Amino acid sequence: MLIERKWKKWIFFYIPMTVFILFTLFPFYWMAVTAVRPDPELYRTWRQASATPFWTLEPTLEHFRELLKTTAFPQWLWNTMLIAIVSTIISLICGMFAGYALARLKFRGSEFLGTAIFVTYLVPQTLLFIPLADIIREMHLGNTPWALMLTYPTFLIPFCTWLLMGYFKTIPKELEECARIDGATRFGAMVRIIFPVAIPGILSAGIFAFTLSWNEFIYALIFMSSAELKTVPVGVVSELIRGDIFFWGQLMAGALLGSIPVALVYSFFVEYYVTGLTGSVKG
């Protein structure tokens, strides 16, 4: 419909788009290059000339080897994965139930509860971490995976509930009514009719919740103290900086390895993730 001249397309589209792509992806590229660059090349000061500043001719896996040898990195990966999966499942179950109740059932205070859950969605972790650490200790959950599996749902449940409530509202009521006429209970109709139809929504909420858990930092930093119980972000921060010395090769190797699982999950479910992301802010 709107025909553009070639030079205009370059100025208004190709050049800005290229700059955006470079800006967005360069840090990841730099992370990868640093991870495979041998130490003598890595620690070359900013004034020194370099024949290959943006790549390396002698890629090495030395940093990865050191990382796996000196730290409990595989264990951190496993912890992060387990905690992310369990907290996502807990949040999905709570969110599916609560979302259904708020979308479909009539009861007093439903509007108030909906608003209250939305408000908890907006409570940041940094507002409550000090008393929460104390509560976790009192409940004898400190330094156990359950400390995170039970607290991550505090920021995942509101989001799952909100997203799924919106999704359930788009499912025609007649579907359920038919099942009810055929003798299904309310609960049965919800589990066997509504939930299966809502699988795309559930998947979106789940993928988004998984990436949020993988990303969480402050609770994991405060609630877990043993090295072998840490999650990837906390492990990388606390074990790869010894004193004032940053082991940049290993740090970037760890950052790369710690990013791959979540990036893989994301790449398989991009469309669901985007639905979750855009749905997460829709009222």
* Choices 65-73, 166-174, 196-204, 208-216; region in contact with other proteins by CB under 8 A: 208-216
> Shortest approach of other proteins to residue 119 CB, angstroms?
6
* Binder of other proteins out of 5, 6, 47, 173 (CB under 8 A): 47
Token pair, residue 200, equals 């795309």
Binders of other proteins among residues 212 to 241 (CB under 8 A) are 214-215, 217-218, 222, 232-234, 236-237
Binders of other proteins among residues 140 to 169 (CB under 8 A) are 150-151, 153-154, 157-158, 161
> Shortest approach of other proteins to residue 163 CB, angstroms?
13
SS3 124: coil
CA distance 157 to 139: 21
> What DSSP letter does each residue of 152-196 carry, written as one string?
THHHHHHHHHHHHHHHHHTS-HHHHHHHHHTT--HHHHIIIIIHH
CA distance 92 to 161: 8
Token pair, residue 256, equals 């790369």
How many Cα atoms occupy the beta-carbon half-sphere of 186 within 13 Å?
Answer: 6
The closest alpha carbon to 232, from 206, 207, 213, 205, belongs to 213
* Binder of other proteins out of 13, 140, 170, 199 (CB under 8 A): 13
Binders of other proteins among residues 168 to 207 (CB under 8 A) are 183-187
* Choices 18-26, 65-73, 167-175, 196-204; region in contact with other proteins by CB under 8 A: 18-26
Residues 6+ positions from 176 with CB-CB distance below 8 Å: 104, 189, 190, 193, 194
Question: Using an 8 Å Cβ cutoff, are 227 and 143 in contact?
Answer: no
Binders of other proteins among residues 65 to 124 (CB under 8 A) are 90, 93-95, 97-98, 100-102, 105-108, 110, 113, 115, 117-120, 122-124
* Choices 67-75, 133-141, 169-177, 198-206; region in contact with other proteins by CB under 8 A: 133-141
Question: Using an 8 Å Cβ cutoff, are 27 and 21 in contact?
Answer: no
Residue type, 249: G
Question: Using an 8 Å Cβ cutoff, are 83 and 149 in contact?
Answer: yes
* Binder of other proteins out of 11, 17, 22, 61 (CB under 8 A): 17
User: Which CB, 197 or 222, lies closer to other proteins?
Assistant: 222
User: Which CB, 94 or 227, lies closer to other proteins?
Assistant: 94
Binders of other proteins among residues 253 to 282 (CB under 8 A) are 254-255, 258-259, 262-263, 266-267, 270, 273-274, 277-278, 281-282
User: Which CB, 150 or 197, lies closer to other proteins?
Assistant: 150
**Total interface residues for other proteins by CB under 8 A:** 101
User: Which CB, 16 or 74, lies closer to other proteins?
Assistant: 16
CA distance 23 to 27: 8
> Shortest approach of other proteins to residue 67 CB, angstroms?
13
- Token pair 């967005």: residue: 24
User: Which CB, 196 or 283, lies closer to other proteins?
Assistant: 283
The closest alpha carbon to 209, from 83, 121, 94, 91, belongs to 91
User: Which CB, 57 or 281, lies closer to other proteins?
Assistant: 281
